[in-house]
Structure 1
């Protein structure tokens, strides 16, 4: 019996973090207070502060499908770009600062000051930007089991939006330098397999008792039950250079979670990939990016990342057809096929050290310009 559409089409939400930089040099600037204020008072947009003063965060609403998320991301990114310009800086979608110092001033809030006291330089150097996708699940027990099912695909998901090859103006050799910086936190990377919600809670309690996490919000695993929402949250990815890459990521995660909910309900157990094997594959994905070859944790042998992504898309295509996300998936895949991911485009743009060329690739409203160009092309073709 085919599950009803609402099973294949759970609600989805996307969080994106952006870096604030000098409009000419591209170095990070601590102007989040100004950008948040301008966005609220002049543009009617509520932005969130992040750990440092050189970052801001946006959140979509609870979206019925990824096309709604795409519309919201395009509109919100446009407003963020305008707010940054009005505040005298530039908002860029990049996983880690490509230029200038890779540290920022700690945001003046009780929680962030406490994190800075407890974790020292690790907090100051947390100037990295990710994309988090939330997908609704029925309950916490299901959420834990869904995380187990999603785990094996974390390396592939990480490669899709890898978008931080540079640091201090130099190529790090990684497609996602952000992932390497992020891995220094004591509770990060792929999680272990959990047998139940109670097991998950026990492990979280142990880490809080040990002082490696202040609370459950600091359990920074790449996939986890959300701390306050009835969702599974996938956190493995760099913030995408373009909206269409972010939407492709959201569609993949949405379909993976939908399939996992059905599998859990049918008593299908997740593949028991060990945490250490997943760590190796995720490290390789951060290093190699979309065009590399990494361990396929289900096949047990190295395979091109793009082949693994194609396998995942084929596996999920019936769900994309059922929930209406297939056009968005195809759009994102075309972008990856023709231009590569953000890391690929950054490397091409920064040949010869052209700062402005690099920043144009990363402007948060860059995808909005591309979208307008696509509409113009479509209108021209129709006339």
Structure 2
């Protein structure tokens, strides 16, 4: 099976996808409401789209192709508001967060769609455990070779993005000790992790042909890499972010990734090398476990510093690119969040410490997502 041609796209354009939790308004547990929600949403004019996800208690919203952080925020606002109005009609709640704090995977139902049923047949219980919620950000690329170079350049910042977006400290009623427990579920899939270090599309096509020859994969959708090419869109797709608790943060994270992409593409601040991946799994784990206080090992120098420290240096380097992209508000949001609470996982733990109820945490998450929080 051959890979489809790499489509033409405008460099540095963005598309954002957000997977959301659907909960009832009684005890705020997950509930199979996606079909009803999609029915109510039918015919509503949106700048992007709303689609089902692998289990009935999930739903995904996405933007169209956006040029700027502000456009992402505008589109997410329109779609969020329409979804919330529809959910209110059904007495349902919608929430961000990378995991639901106390749902049990065995109760989840696979959405009736051929690909989801195929995944369920292949991966068994892992499919229901995949009831986790992430943000995906697409970045438009000039061509396939440039896409691969950008993919490997952005890989250096995967830990930073994990730490900033982390919003999944609780799983099945327990504090996991992680800031992002969601990624532990993703890592269970055999084709997860990092993409192979290939810098030309010709070499990637050879790799893909070998993989399809084994029968292990049929399309790019079978790779659950942290970043993967999406040739049908002409993009790369960053997949490590937990779904934030607000559209404002989701938009800011997309703006940050756009700034990183421009910096890497134009300034080429570091040479790409296979050895850059030597500390990759360690850095990734540190971000999942400890958030911004995790240790970051510089792949070039071997120096150890906190992700917070390295991110502050990176944000300074991104300032001229943010100005060029009109993304200064996105970087300002990130800086303020780092000074205030660091990430949504820290906020969630603060709520639970005060309220002593995971149900109240989810209720407050629904209010934050709807834009109704005080």
TM-score over 0.5 (shorter chain): yes
Which whole-Å deviations, capped at 9, do the CAs of 1:164-206 have from their partners, x for residues lacking one? 0001111011100111110011111222321311222233333
Q: Tell me what 1:171 maps to.
A: 175
Tell me which of 131, 135, 143 is aligned to 2:139: 135
Tell me which of 317, 320, 345 is aligned to 1:318: 320
C-alpha contact (below 8 Å) 1:101/1:168 kept by paired residues: yes
Q: Count the aligned residue pairs.
A: 361
Distance 1:38 1:276, change over 3 A: farther
C-alpha contact (below 8 Å) 2:226/2:240 kept by paired residues: yes
SS in 1 for 2:61: strand
C-alpha contact (below 8 Å) 1:28/1:54 kept by paired residues: yes
Matches within 5 A, 1:61-140: 61-103=64-106, 104-140=108-144
Tell me which of 18, 21, 24 is aligned to 1:22: 24
Distance 1:273 1:130, change over 3 A: farther
Range that drifts further, 58-67 or 203-212: 203-212
Q: Tell me what 1:376 maps to.
A: none
SS in 2 for 1:350: helix
TM-score by length of 2: 0.89
**Cα drift, residue 363 of structure 1:** 1.8
C-alpha contact (below 8 Å) 1:161/1:241 kept by paired residues: no
TM-score by length of 1: 0.87
Matches within 5 A, 1:332-347: 332-347=334-349
Range that drifts further, 83-92 or 62-71: 83-92
Tell me which of 183, 192, 199 is aligned to 2:196: 192
Q: Tell me what 1:378 maps to.
A: none
**Cα drift, residue 60 of structure 1:** 0.8
SS in 2 for 1:18: strand
Q: Tell me what 1:50 maps to.
A: 53
Q: Tell me what 1:380 maps to.
A: none
C-alpha contact (below 8 Å) 1:102/1:167 kept by paired residues: no
Distance 1:86 1:365, change over 3 A: farther
Q: Tell me what 2:159 maps to.
A: 155
**Cα drift, residue 299 of structure 1:** 3.8
SS in 1 for 2:265: helix
**Unaligned residue ranges in structure 1 (runs of 5+):** 1-7, 374-383
**Unaligned residue ranges in structure 2 (runs of 5+):** 1-9
SS in 2 for 1:127: coil
**Cα drift, residue 340 of structure 1:** 2.6
